Amino acid sequence: MTVLTAPTAPIAGQKPGTSGLRKKTRVFQQAGYLENFVQAIFDGIGSAAGKTYVLGGDGRYFNAEAAQIILKLAAANGAARIIVGQGAILSTPAASHLIRLNKTDGGIILSASHNPGGPDEDFGIKFNTPNGGPAPEAVTEAIFDATTVLTAYRISDAPDVDLDAIGRHDLDGMIVDVVDPVSDYAALMETLFDFPAIRAMFADGFRMRFDAMCAVTGPYARDILERRLGLPEGSVINATPLPDFGGMHPDPNPVWAKALMDEMFGGQAPDFGAASDGDGDRNMVVGAGIYVGPSDSLAVLAANATLAPGYAKGLAGVARSMPTGAAVDRVADALGLRCFETPTGWKFFGTLLDAGLATLCGEESFGTGSDHIREKDGLWAVLFWLNILAVRKQTVAEILTDHWARYGRNYFSRHDFEAIDNTAADGMMTALRAQLPTLPGTLVEGMTVASADDFSYVDPVDGATSVNQGIRIRFDDGSRIVMRLSGTGTAGATLRVYLERFEDDPAQLALDVQAALAPIIRAADAIAGIAAHTGRTAPDVIT
């Protein structure tokens, strides 16, 4: 077997976004596209020589082929060892855990997360650093820079490795360890949560539905919920990962997980429902007849954290992304915890977690996690909720109602306008930025603008600065609008509008969310001219 040096030329646009490089699958399948980017990862981080990496993905179309290509590139670049999930499957949180557990030099995760999969849908690739977390901006920039100067990639012409066979394999002198994707992750969960209490609750007849959306969490949820915790078989549905996610859009929100929502709001609703996304790092939790918004979920976990054995000592601090609702800030205030506000994307939590400044982190986009790994973690959040329910012996509705009565309620919603023409979206954001200096003091929809800025972040640990992270408009009653363009889409631009209003009047805690936010929704259009710039009068997705 020989190592080939294949001449290549830079391919434009290989710039990682919020979470890795995401493109249409057919783009990734173009000759040299994946090869170039992976070679750039190795070049961007110095070299792969002698290194150990974790490799796996969410099982979407092209996952298996891409894994074989990456193994051959790694071998030819001199990597010592790759730890691969069986069948090239690893959820993003499980990959993060394996990187940390095995003290590897990082990992490569194949996923476009919540984006649909298939030949005409999306594919993605992400590099995680030795702490198990998504590469910070300095690293993704170095990788991008490397893509722009490539002249060749190195690849082995060895035959494919049998990734279905657990055990040690050899690829041109590089060790390939194929491991069970679930067991180490499940063992970690057992150290964090009160499994006996959850098992007793299930044995008592507690009913739960978990919708794996034909994505990667099926095997994890089956092993942990059904096998280890005794949830009746069949409670986990859509549990086999499929290359096209069975045609589902594996984004766990009320719109895309509609079947679960219908069941949870129907006559025979289970006590608890949950869903996860393509790569297993997002979660949606639902009680019988009540939906838990992600910003509220983070706050409830923070307020009840000490009920879980892994967090019994209390939290060092909490962190949320800037657009996320501020419900957790109120819990942090009450508990005397530091609360950090970071740009969108899990990579910004890494330094805080590594420095021990934050224990729990969360994003409004159905992501919650902790310092147990360096990614958000869907099943972890579900187990955390189960632990709380098992100890408090209350319903989800009771827990949420109690929470709002105690801390007040941050009504929150995100409106997404998808696949907008790029020029129109950029034009709108430019016009909005130009207004920022003159907005304060103006009256919109009966509210006075208190401040308006473009969020810049200076990492409190390493001083790294990130600018243009989202427009924030704050009103004098504490309400807020945030607007930013997505960094994970693959077609046109996606405008995200985040709307928030705080309420602590006991008579106003159970309003319909969109009704509660109506003036703020109108104000967003009045200020930014969304309809005028984009031609869109209503969002495509409301969460």
Q: Where on the chain is the footprint of Co ion (CB under 5 A)?
A: 113, 277, 279, 281-282
Considering only 233-241, 309-317, 340-348, 349-357, which stretch makes contact with ligand VG1 by CB under 6 A?
340-348
Considering only 59-67, 176-184, 361-369, 460-468, which stretch makes contact with ligand VG1 by CB under 6 A?
361-369
Q: Considering 113, 276, 413, 466, which one is annotated as catalytic?
A: 113
**Residue 19, interface with ligand VG1 (CB under 6 A)?**
yes
**Residue 365, interface with ligand VG1 (CB under 6 A)?**
yes
**Residue 344, interface with ligand VG1 (CB under 6 A)?**
yes
Considering only 298-306, 422-430, 440-448, 481-489, which stretch makes contact with ligand VG1 by CB under 6 A?
481-489
Measured between its terminal Cα atoms, the distance across the chain in Å is 52
Partner from ligand VG1, Co ion, none contacting 320, C-beta within 5 to 8 A by type: none
Report how far apart, in Å, the C-alpha atoms of 28 and of each of 50, 52, 73 are.
27, 24, 15
Q: What is the dihedral of CA 464, 470, 476, 477, to 10 degrees?
A: -100
Buried residues in 432-445 as b, exposed as e (16+ CB within 10 A): beebbeebeeeebb
CB of 346 to ligand VG1, least distance (A): 5
| Closer CB to ligand VG1, 444 or 497, in the complex | 497
**Residue 121, interface with ligand VG1 (CB under 6 A)?**
no
Long-range contacts of 238-243 (CB under 8 A, 24+ apart): 238/211, 238/212, 238/213, 238/214, 239/212, 240/214, 241/58, 241/59, 241/89, 241/212, 241/214, 241/215, 241/216, 242/59, 242/214, 243/59, 243/60, 243/61, 243/63, 243/117, 243/118
**Residue 466, interface with ligand VG1 (CB under 6 A)?**
no
CA atoms of 49 and 148, how far apart (whole Å):
21
C-alpha angle with apex 277: 272 to 280, nearest 5 degrees?
90
Partner from ligand VG1, Co ion, none contacting 486, C-beta within 5 to 8 A by type: ligand VG1
CB of 198 to Co ion, least distance (A): 24
| Closer CB to Co ion, 91 or 295, in the complex | 91
Q: Which of 71, 61, 82 is nearest to 35 (CA)?
A: 71
**Residue 377, interface with ligand VG1 (CB under 6 A)?**
no
Taking CB under 6 A as the criterion, the residue among 10, 460, 487, 529 binding ligand VG1 is: 487
| Closer CB to ligand VG1, 320 or 330, in the complex | 320
| Closer CB to ligand VG1, 84 or 493, in the complex | 493
Q: Are the beta carbons of 185 and 220 closer than 8 angstroms?
A: yes
CB of 281 to ligand VG1, least distance (A): 5
3-state class (DSSP) for residue 491: coil
CA atoms of 48 and 163, how far apart (whole Å):
21
**Residue 474, interface with ligand VG1 (CB under 6 A)?**
no
**3-state SS track over 377-410:** CHHHHHHHHHHHHHHHCCCHHHHHHHHHHHHCEE
321 labelled catalytic: no
| Closer CB to Co ion, 347 or 533, in the complex | 347
CA atoms of 405 and 217, how far apart (whole Å):
34
Partner from ligand VG1, Co ion, none contacting 39, C-beta within 5 to 8 A by type: none
CB of 251 to Co ion, least distance (A): 9
Taking CB under 6 A as the criterion, the residue among 58, 211, 223, 363 binding ligand VG1 is: 363
CB of 365 to Co ion, least distance (A): 9
Instruction: Enumerate residues 6+ apart whose C-beta is below 8 A from 106.
Output: 45, 51, 53, 54, 99, 127, 128, 129, 130, 135
Taking CB under 6 A as the criterion, the residue among 18, 86, 283, 543 binding ligand VG1 is: 18
| CA atoms in the 13 A half-sphere facing the CB of 15 | 6
| Phi-psi category of residue 245: left, alpha or beta, with phi > 0 → left and psi -120 to 50 → alpha | left
Q: Give me the helix-helix angle, 137-147 and 33-44, nearest 10°.
A: 130
CB of 100 to ligand VG1, least distance (A): 18
CA atoms of 501 and 517, how far apart (whole Å):
7
**Residue 490, interface with ligand VG1 (CB under 6 A)?**
no
CA atoms of 74 and 112, how far apart (whole Å):
21
**Residue 114, interface with ligand VG1 (CB under 6 A)?**
yes
| DSSP state at residue 140 | H
Instruction: Enumerate residues 6+ apart whose C-beta is below 8 A from 41.
Output: 108, 127, 143, 146
**Residue 346, interface with ligand VG1 (CB under 6 A)?**
yes
Considering only 44-52, 294-302, 331-339, 360-368, which stretch makes contact with ligand VG1 by CB under 6 A?
360-368
Q: Are the beta carbons of 523 and 497 closer than 8 angstroms?
A: no
Per-residue binding letters, 263-302, with ligand VG1 (x by CB under 6 A): --------------x---xx--------------------
| Closer CB to ligand VG1, 201 or 322, in the complex | 322
What would the two tokens of residue 56 be?
A: 């796996």
| Closer CB to ligand VG1, 55 or 449, in the complex | 55
Q: Where are the alpha helices (DSSP H) in 408-452?
A: 422-435
Partner from Co ion, ligand VG1, none contacting 18, C-beta within 5 to 8 A by type: ligand VG1
| Closer CB to ligand VG1, 105 or 281, in the complex | 281
Partner from Co ion, ligand VG1, none contacting 85, C-beta within 5 to 8 A by type: none
Taking CB under 6 A as the criterion, the residue among 488, 490, 534, 543 binding ligand VG1 is: 488
Give me the active site residues, please.
Answer: 113
Q: Which residues bind ligand VG1 (CB under 6 A)?
A: 18-19, 113-114, 277, 281-282, 321, 344-346, 363, 365, 367, 486-488, 496
